[in-house]
């Protein structure tokens, strides 16, 4: 199925769990460009990889300078949002650790108790299993 400009959604095929997030991000951006451009980009990347071709970067002659004040509020909101995400993720991770290793609850019991965080609980449970297996 070809991806047309009219489609609002992208569905990537299954990707291995150990795929670097940088690679996944690149694939995601690659799939958002037009089909013609994707072929050109793919050929260029293959050429760089296979032949060591160096891409010539030319700094633009004309560009818009955005005043710092114009993005300061956005920057502050993003900083606070990221801090909130990290704080919340840390809280859920601690909760999963206590439930799993202190209270000895099963994954199903944790998912039943806090259904709203099911994906994160599953991820943390898997991560703790791997982490503790290495010790």
pLDDT for 100: 94
104: left (phi over 0), alpha (psi -120 to 50) or beta: left
38 pLDDT band, cuts 50/70/90, is confident
pLDDT for 99: 96
Q: What is the pTM of this model?
A: 0.45
Given a contact cutoff of 8 angstroms between Cβ atoms, the answer to whether 120 and 92 are in contact is: yes
Q: Residue 49: which residues within 8 A CB-CB, separation 6 or more?
A: none
pLDDT at 134 over 80: no
Tokens of 26: 């690149």
Where exactly are the structural domains of the chain? 1-55, 89-135
SS3 17: coil
Q: Residue 22: which residues within 8 A CB-CB, separation 6 or more?
A: none
pLDDT in tens, 85-109: 888 889 999 999 999 999 999 999 9
Other beta carbons within 10 Å of 82: 10
């Amino acid at each position: 199925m070809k991806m047309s400009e009219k489609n609002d959604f992208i569905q990537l095929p299954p990707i291995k769990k150990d795929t670097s997030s940088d690679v996944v991000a690149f694939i995601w951006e690659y799939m958002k460009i037009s089909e013609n451009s994707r072929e050109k980009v793919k050929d260029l990347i293959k050429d760089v990889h296979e032949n060591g071709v160096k891409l010539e970067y030319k700094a633009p002659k004309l560009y818009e300078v955005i005043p710092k004040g114009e993005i300061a509020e956005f920057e502050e909101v993003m900083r606070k949002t990221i801090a909130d995400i990290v704080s919340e993720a840390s809280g859920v991770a601690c909760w999963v650790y206590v439930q799993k290793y202190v209270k000895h609850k099963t994954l199903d019991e944790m998912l039943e108790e806090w259904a709203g965080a099911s994906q994160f609980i599953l991820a943390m449970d898997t991560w703790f299993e791997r982490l503790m297996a290495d010790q």
